[in-house]
């Protein structure tokens, strides 16, 4: 009985030692981590750091710039409105990248700010003007040509902000008593199909009609762009208040098993 007791005690000590090994570090850490199938996703909704502990060769990522804001309206006999802000640029790197061990800064831009990661920058959307909406950076795979906004009308209606869907994200023209609608944002497949960088709607004062927000987080008239979509702000019809573009986003994907 004594031998058995001693033997169990020794086994117990061994089990104790085995049960408390030092935990291995994950290959990558930082942001909010989710898993789907063989892939890990690190999502940054604000600026931070991606820490790579072991070389990873299967990295792809999405970067969305901050949406453009809208300005206060300026009241004239024929106008009291402003236009929608442009959607932030959408950069999606879909060819596998290699990240070596180290710390990588992740910058998520707010309204009117660029976002960046690993040497790539997604440009901010431009601020909407009194009549002309804000321009957007081109979307998808890091295109650099700007997409133009819609012009404003002659009276009380603002133009729509441009979206990031290159080449189809132009902001809508104001027409008659209807303000321009925001342009469509770019479609990304990094995690699941979703659009980012929609343009903000133009606002209309007096008896006119507001434009519609651009798909991909664009703000309706007199509202902010949607957070973490890079959507442009909706136009204003107030002489005291403009609106903010939606903040950007960075999503990093890699195969972890």
Q: Is there a contact between 138 and 158 (Cβ–Cβ < 8 Å)?
A: no
Antiparallel, parallel or unpaired: β 90-99 and 194-196: unpaired
Q: What is the pLDDT of residue 174?
A: 74
Q: What is the pLDDT of residue 177?
A: 73
What is the distance between the alpha carbons of residues 195 and 215, in angstroms, rounded to a whole number? 7
Q: What is the pLDDT of residue 149?
A: 41
3-class DSSP string for the chain? CHHHHHHHHHHHHHHHHHCCCCCCCCCEECCEEEEECCEEEEEECCCEEEEECCCEEEEEEEEECCCCCECCCCCECCECCCCCCCCCCEEEEEEEEEECCEEEEEECCCCCCCEEECCEEECCCCCECCCCCCCECCCCCCCCCCECCCCCCCCCECCCCCCCCCCCCCCCCCECCECCCCCCCEEECCCCCEEECCCCCCCECCCCECCCCCCCCCCCCCCCCCCCCCCCCCCCCCCCCCECCCCCEEEEEEECC
Which of the residues in the chain have pLDDT under 70?
1-25, 76-80, 130-158, 166-167, 176, 206-207
Q: What is the pLDDT of residue 134?
A: 61
Q: What is the pLDDT of residue 157?
A: 60
Alpha carbon separation from 60 to 115, 168, 234 (Å, rounded): 16, 25, 32
Q: What is the pLDDT of residue 25?
A: 64
């Amino acid at each position: 009985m004594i031998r058995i007791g001693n033997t169990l005690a020794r086994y117990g000590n061994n089990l104790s030692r085995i049960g408390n090994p030092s935990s291995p570090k994950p290959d990558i850490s930082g942001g909010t981590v989710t898993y789907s199938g063989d892939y890990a996703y690190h999502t940054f909704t604000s600026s931070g750091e991606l820490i790579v502990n072991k070389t990873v060769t299967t990295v792809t990522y999405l970067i969305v710039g901050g949406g453009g804001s809208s300005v206060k309206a300026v009241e004239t006999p024929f106008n009291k409105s402003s236009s929608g802000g442009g959607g932030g640029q959408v950069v999606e790197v879909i060819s596998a990248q290699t990240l070596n061990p180290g710390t990588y800064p992740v910058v998520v831009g707010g309204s009117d700010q660029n976002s960046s990661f690993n040497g790539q920058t997604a440009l901010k959307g431009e601020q909407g003007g009194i009549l002309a909406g804000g321009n957007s950076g081109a979307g998808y795979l890091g295109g650099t040509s700007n997409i133009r906004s819609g012009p404003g009308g002659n009276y009380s209606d603002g133009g729509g902000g441009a979206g990031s869907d290159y080449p189809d994200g132009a902001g809508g023209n104001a027409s008659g008593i209807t303000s321009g609608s925001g342009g469509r944002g770019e479609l990304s497949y990094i995690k699941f199909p979703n659009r980012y960088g929609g343009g903000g709607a133009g606002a209309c004062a007096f008896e006119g009609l507001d434009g519609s927000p651009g798909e991909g987080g664009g703000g309706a008239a007199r509202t902010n762009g949607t957070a973490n979509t890079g959507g442009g702000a909706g136009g204003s019809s107030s002489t005291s208040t403009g609106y903010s573009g939606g903040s950007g986003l960075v999503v990093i994907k890699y195969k972890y098993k």
